[in-house]
């Protein structure tokens, strides 16, 4: 029997997704459901003076009209991960263009839209702050005159958080370790500023949810990554026991972090309460641009080094553009701040990362989760410092890279990938690069703590009379192949063919508990839960079989639902039928996984593993236009042990192309709070023709992962190093340093025109 990890093993969802049979949230329908649509603010910041929705209800087919005045009494209408500041519908104030002002449920979407057209709103525009700088300026208008409630998480050594440290900053994360005097002994201190752009997730499946709610219970079918956290948030808001809220999750058509916490659900729930019927709200694609986005950032790095290139100290001041509502921003601030040192040794680290509120689309979890922002700044500055010192970027990294077994910072999990080996690997793959005018080489290493912090995962594995295996777990399939990989893990433990393992649909009443599908955690954290459950059920089966055969379980081996004892091969199915009768039986066992709490770890629990992204790139810069073309891109990640190599390759390449887009052209463009390119024709995402002429992803299996069989998570590493690698290559090519994304033709062209003549920069 082939190994469960053989490359020929197909994803469990392959058949459905290549035949049109796969079911997503957009395909679901509940009998009697109404259709919702919302009215959104045209202003970036305004007071709602008056809403007259009286004409809306008169439209035929309309069953409910919701404004702040109609919010049910007794509910808590604000949500957010840490800071509860986002209302179900705007209450007195709209804080970004696109903020929800009213909602309608009707028999069809056309009636709902017509009703919305009849709603009159009087706005009093308020001064808006639409950039980080504007929001932090003295005297800037305050988005939240009254600080919304929030709870600072518990941190460990060296880390702290603060709510609302100042105006327009909803949360601040800080971390410090080492001796502050370290700066004094540095030969040089370099201070540089970087700007990171904002992209939209652009998941092809729009936000969609169906809610069926009464005052006693709520059921939702929704496209979300985190069913149990969503359950908890909805239970809190609607004042129900968690167990009276059920969240069902089908296949998700792409998320990349977008579909976390409340999106369509609160509006749909309230409309359902008002009408007594299920309500579906499927946003249009354009509405995604009004719902969630990646964090733009301003990063100021002050780095002290010795003359020979040794890194000593880094003080970082980071500002994330959180948009109008906090959402997951405090968590992103934690991680961006935590990851800013990169994969290097420092004697002193001092970081503050703030969530700056602006009158723009809220920003939230986005692949990389602060790591892309941190890597952009840090890996750019490493090259800049190297060149200033007359050292090659390679030598600078080689000297400072953390080694296997080094703690990232005191109290944190040790580095579990050979960082230097990975760098050598991608550079070697690049091969000999022929020098030519405008051509340059650059590389970068991105690192993020993976597996989540203090994440708990439970799984159940069940085996039927005939040996069909079912996994119950709440890991969401959003494209990353996690549910399929979990089947492979179970198959391997049970020595069963992979196609005999299925994974049951997710609903929070029946699926075992899980903290959510994020942080590249599914293979490792849920994987270990599945592994434990599979081992437990295997042992149960062997014990049962041993009793039936009158031998010791240790003499038996499980193989393809047979018990092998020396030369004998016994059908377990037959033994089951003999023992339990014609109805048969089903074996079942549970597994659990969670990293321990540890106050010595800055984030209160050491990370599960390190997710690394290495990239090496060759660019061609057209001096006449400033256009940067990626001629060759090599990316690599360390999967530890690749459960499904093709899945790993797809994750790496997909993430890398997101990084390419961020580096070169993709961004949400705001002008005075108005989004200029929020539509599918104008918002440019990578197409097949944007893939570099030479694009190679190398799958490393260094074997040190804590996941099943040595696996590590493998979902986000690819996006981290790309932008910095490209910027580094551009400097190598034409001697200009771009510190703001995207590295657009105009930026390069302008830098070239300002360039002082100098010698061509050093190369690897």
Partner 1 sequence: MKSTDGGLIATSFRTIGDVAVIRPRTLDDAVAALMHHSEPPAILAGGTDMVARFNEGFNPRRVLAIAGVGELAAIEDDGDVLRIGALVTHAQGAHSDVARRAVPGFAAAWARIATVRVRFTATIGGNVMARRTRYEMPVLLAALGARFRVREGGEVRVWDAMPYLERAAAPRELLTHVEIPLSGLCAFDYERGMRPIVTLALAVRRTAGRLHLRVAVGFEAMAPHVLEGAWDHPADDAGAVAERLFETFPAGLGDHLTSNAYLRDVGRTMLGRQLTRLADGGL
Partner 2 sequence: MAVSDPIGRQLDGEDAPPLRFVLNGIERAETVPARMSLWELLHDEFGLCGTKLSCSRGVCGSCSVLIDGVPQASCSTFAFSVDGRRVDTIEGLAAAGHPLCEAFAARSAFQCGYCTSGMIVLAKALLDRDPHPARQTVVEWLSSNVCRCTGYAMIVEAVLAAAEAVTDG
Where do contacts with partner 1 occur on this chain (CB under 8 A)? 37-42, 51, 97-98, 101-102, 108-110, 112-114, 116-117, 119-121, 283-284, 286-287, 290, 624-627, 669, 671, 676, 679, 681-682, 684, 744-746, 749-750
Is the Cβ–Cβ distance between 221 and 213 less than 8 Å?
A: no
Residues with Cβ < 8 Å from 53, sequence gap 6 or more?
Answer: 65, 67, 102, 118, 119, 120
Residue 96: alpha-carbon gap to chain centroid: 23
Is the separation of the CB atoms in 520 and 446 below 8 Å? no
What CA–CA distance (Å, rounded) separates 160 from 168? 19
HSE at residue 752, side-chain half, CA atoms within 13 A, is 22
- Residue with Cβ nearer partner 1 (114 or 412): 114
β-pairing, 562-565 vs 586-594, is unpaired
* Residue 626 lies near partner 2 (rule: CB under 8 A): no
User: Site mask, partner 2, residues 25-64, x = CB under 8 A?
Assistant: -xx-------------------------------------
Residue list 116-175, contact with partner 2 (CB under 8 A): none
Q: Longest Cα pair distance anywhere in the chain, in angstroms?
A: 88
Residues 255/478, Cβ–Cβ less than 8 Å: yes
Residue 627, binding choice from partner 1, partner 2, none, Cβ under 5 to 8 Å by partner class? partner 1
Residue 691 contact among partner 1, partner 2, none, beta carbon within 5 to 8 Å by kind:
partner 2
Q: Which is nearer to partner 1, 61 or 650 (CB)?
A: 61
How many CA atoms lie within 13 Å of 362's alpha carbon, on the beta-carbon side? 33
Residue 746 interacts with, from partner 2, partner 1, none (CB under 5-8 Å by kind): partner 1
Which one among 88, 105, 657, 729 touches partner 2, defined by CB under 8 A?
657
Minimum separation from the CB atom of position 53 to partner 1 (A): 8
| C-beta closer to partner 2: residue 11 or 339 | 11
Joined together, the tokens standing for residue 365 give 């979890």
The candidate with the shortest Cα–Cα distance to 428, out of 394, 380, 397, is 394
Q: How far is CA 131 from CA 173, 361, 422, in A?
A: 20, 12, 38
Residue 685 interacts with which of partner 1, partner 2, none, CB < 5 to 8 Å by class: partner 2
The residue within the footprint of partner 2, chosen from 4, 97, 186, 251 (CB under 8 A), is 251
Tokens representing 624 are 């006449």
- Residue 102 touches which member of partner 1, partner 2, none, C-beta under 5-8 Å by kind: partner 1
Q: How far is the CB of 85 from partner 1 (least distance, A)?
A: 21
The 3-state secondary structure of 207-236, one letter per residue: CEEEEEECCCCEEEEECCCCHHHHHHHHHH
Supply 118's token pair: 């009849």
Shortest Cβ distance from residue 735 to partner 2 (Å)? Answer: 30
Closer residue to partner 2, CB minimum distance, 442 or 654:
654
- The residue among 292 and 520 lying less far from partner 1, judged by its C-beta, is 292
Q: How far is the CB of 314 from partner 2 (least distance, A)?
A: 32
Q: Do residues 361 and 292 touch, judged by C-beta distance below 8 A? A: yes
Tokens of 726: 């490209």
Q: From partner 1, partner 2, none, which one binds at residue 181 (CB under 5 to 8 Å depending on kind)?
A: none
Instruction: Report the residue number, 437 or 505, with the smaller CB distance to partner 2.
Output: 505
Burial class of residue 390, CB neighbours in 10 A (0-12, 13-18, 19+): exposed
Angle at CA of residue 290, ends 286 and 296, nearest 5°: 115
We find the least distance from the C-beta atom of residue 60 to partner 1, in angstroms, to be 12
Strands 169-178 and 348-357: antiparallel
* Residue 14 touches partner 2, criterion: CB under 8 A: yes
How far is Cα 193 from Cα 337, in angstroms, rounded to an integer?
A: 15
- Rounded to 10°, the helix 745-754/722-734 angle is 40
Can residue 464 be called a binding residue for partner 2 (CB under 8 A)?
no
Nearest distance in Å: CB 720, partner 1: 26
**Of these partners, partner 2, partner 1, none, which one is at the site of residue 499 (CB under 5 to 8 Å by kind)?**
none
Choose among partner 1, partner 2, none what residue 654 binds, the Cβ cut-off being 5 to 8 Å by kind: partner 2
- Of the candidate spans 89-97, 232-240, 254-262, 380-388, the one that interacts with partner 2 by CB under 8 A turns out to be 254-262
Minimum CB–partner distance for residue 123 and partner 1 (Å): 8
Yes or no: say if 134 and 140 are a contact pair by the CB < 8 Å rule: yes
Q: Is residue 452 helix, strand or coil?
A: coil
Instruction: Give yes or no for residue 630 binding partner 2 (CB under 8 A).
Output: no
Give min distance, CB of 580 to partner 2, in A: 37
Binding status of residue 695 toward partner 2 by CB under 8 A? yes
- Structure tokens that stand for 652 in this block: 């790496």
Radius of gyration, alpha carbons of the chain: 27
Distance CA 152, CA 173 (A): 10
Residue 39: Cβ within 10 Å count? 25
> Closer to partner 1 at the Cβ: 17 or 750?
750
Q: 633: closest CA among 612, 665, 663?
A: 663
Is residue 289 a contact residue for partner 2 (CB under 8 A)? no
Q: Which is nearer to partner 1, 275 or 667 (CB)?
A: 667
Can residue 19 be called a binding residue for partner 2 (CB under 8 A)?
Answer: yes
Q: Is 651 in the site for partner 2 (CB under 8 A)?
A: yes
Contact between 686 and partner 2 by CB under 8 A: the answer reads yes
38 binds, among partner 2, partner 1, none (CB under 5 to 8 A by kind): partner 1
Instruction: Determine, following the binding rule CB under 8 A, whether residue 688 of this chain makes contact with partner 2.
Output: yes
Nearer to partner 2, 183 or 256 (CB): 256
Which residues in this chain contact partner 2 in the complex, by CB under 8 A? Answer: 8, 10-11, 13-24, 26-27, 201-206, 251-256, 284-285, 478-481, 644, 646-647, 649-651, 653-658, 679-681, 685-689, 691, 695
């Amino acid at each position: 029997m082939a190994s469960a990890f053989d490359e020929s093993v197909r994803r469990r969802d392959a058949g459905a997704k290549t035949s049109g049979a796969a079911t997503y949230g957009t395909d679901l329908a509940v009998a009697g459901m109404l259709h919702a649509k919302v009215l959104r603010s045209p202003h970036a910041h305004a007071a709602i003076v008056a809403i007259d929705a009286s004409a809306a209800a008169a439209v035929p087919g309309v069953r409910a009209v919701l404004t702040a005045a109609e919010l049910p009494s007794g509910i808590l209408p604000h949500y957010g991960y840490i800071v509860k500041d986002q209302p179900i519908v705007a209450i007195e104030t709209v804080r970004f263009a696109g903020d929800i002002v009213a909602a309608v449920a009707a028999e069809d979407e056309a009636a709902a839209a017509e009703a919305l057209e009849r709603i009159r709103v009087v706005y009093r525009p308020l001064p808006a702050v639409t950039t980080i700088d504007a929001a932090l300026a003295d005297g800037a208008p305050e988005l939240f005159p009254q600080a919304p409630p929030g709870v600072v998480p518990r941190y460990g050594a060296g880390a702290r958080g603060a709510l609302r440290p100042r105006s327009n900053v909803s949360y601040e994360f800080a971390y410090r370790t080492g001796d502050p005097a370290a700066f004094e002994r540095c030969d040089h201190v370099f201070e540089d500023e970087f700007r990171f752009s904002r992209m939209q997730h652009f998941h092809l499946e729009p936000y969609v949810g169906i809610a069926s709610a009464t005052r006693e219970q709520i059921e939702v079918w929704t496209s979300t990554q985190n069913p149990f956290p969503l359950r908890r948030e909805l239970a809190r808001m609607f004042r129900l026991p968690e167990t009276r809220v059920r969240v069902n999750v089908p296949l998700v058509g792409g998320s990349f972090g977008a579909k976390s916490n409340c999106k369509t659900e609160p509006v749909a729930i309230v409309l359902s309460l008002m009408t007594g019927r299920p309500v579906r709200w499927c946003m249009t694609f354009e509405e995604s641009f009004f719902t969630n986005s990646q964090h733009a950032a301003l990063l100021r790095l002050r780095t002290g080094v010795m003359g020979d290139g040794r890194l000593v100290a880094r003080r970082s001041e980071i500002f994330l553009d959180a948009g109008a509502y906090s959402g997951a921003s405090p968590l992103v601030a934690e991680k961006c701040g935590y990851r800013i040192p990169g994969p290097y040794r420092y004697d002193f680290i001092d970081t503050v990362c703030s969530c700056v509120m602006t009158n723009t689309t809220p920003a939230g979890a986005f692949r990389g989760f602060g790591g892309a922002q941190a890597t952009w700044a840090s890996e750019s500055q490493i090259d800049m410092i190297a060149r200033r010192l007359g050292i090659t970027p390679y030598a600078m990294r080689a000297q400072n890279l953390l080694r296997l077994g080094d703690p990232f910072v005191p109290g944190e999990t040790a580095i579990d990938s050979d960082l230097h080996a990975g760098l050598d690997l991608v550079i070697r793959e690049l091969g000999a690069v022929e020098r030519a005018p405008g051509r340059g080489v650059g590389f970068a290493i991105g690192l993020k703590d993976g597996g989540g912090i203090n994440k708990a995962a439970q799984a159940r594995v069940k085996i039927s009379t005939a040996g069909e295996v079912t996994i119950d777990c709440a890991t969401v399939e959003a494209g990353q192949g996690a549910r399929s990989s979990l089947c492979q893990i179970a198959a391997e433990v049970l020595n069963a063919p992979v196609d005999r393992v299925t994974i049951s649909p997710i609903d929070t009443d029946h699926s075992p508990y899980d903290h959510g599908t994020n942080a590249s955690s599914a293979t490792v954290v849920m994987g270990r839960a599945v592994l434990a459950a599979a081992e437990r059920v295997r042992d149960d089966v062997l014990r049962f079989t041993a009793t039936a055969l009158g031998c010791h379980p240790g003499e038996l081996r499980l193989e393809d639902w047979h018990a092998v004892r020396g030369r004998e091969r016994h059908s377990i199915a037959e033994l089951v039928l003999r023992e339990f009768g014609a109805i048969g039986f089903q074996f079942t066992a549970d597994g659990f996984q969670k990293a321990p709490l540890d106050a010595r770890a800055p984030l209160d629990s050491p990370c599960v593993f390190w997710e690394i992204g290495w990239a090496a790139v060759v660019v061609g810069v057209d001096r006449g236009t400033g256009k940067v073309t990626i001629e060759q891109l090599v990316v690599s990640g360390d999967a530890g042990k690749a459960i499904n190599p093709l899945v790993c390759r797809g994750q790496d390449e997909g993430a890398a192309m997101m990084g390419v887009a961020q580096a070169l052209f993709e961004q949400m463009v705001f002008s005075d709070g108005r989004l200029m390119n929020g539509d599918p024709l104008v918002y440019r995402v990578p197409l097949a023709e944007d893939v570099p002429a030479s694009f190679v992803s190398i799958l490393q299996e260094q074997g040190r992962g804590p996941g099943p069989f040595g696996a590590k998570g493998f979902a986000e590493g690819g996006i981290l190093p790309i932008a910095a690698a490209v910027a580094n290559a551009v400097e190598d090519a034409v001697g200009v340093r771009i510190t703001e994304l995207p590295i657009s033709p105009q930026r390069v062209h302008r830098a070239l025109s300002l360039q002082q003549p100098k010698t061509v920069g050093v190369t690897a």
